[in-house]
Amino acid sequence: MRIPMVPSLRDGGDREAAHPSAVPASGGGGATAGESGQGMIEYALIAGILIIGAVAVLAALSKSINSLFTAISSTLAQY
């Protein structure tokens, strides 16, 4: 049985080629720069939709929230 020669790192060998069973750090077919930019845009759109929804809900409930705090304030003022 013959063992294949592995290039030495001291001799300027490539670190990834030093071990024949080495797996690339990216895990194979990783995302390209355009695909990662697309993911960031998707996250920004989701965050924007959530912010707009939160503002709409608070605007719709503002009168009832204000009356609730007014009732709490008047109750606490009695003591």
Cβ pair 58, 66 in contact under 8 A: no
DSSP letter, residue 23: P
Sequence ranges of the domains in the chain: 50-79
Confidence (pLDDT) at 26: 54
Whole-prediction pTM: 0.45
Confidence label for 38 from pLDDT (cuts 50, 70 and 90)? confident
72 has a pLDDT exceeding 60: yes
In this prediction, residues 60-67 reach a mean pLDDT of: 94
* Token digits of residue 75: 């109750």
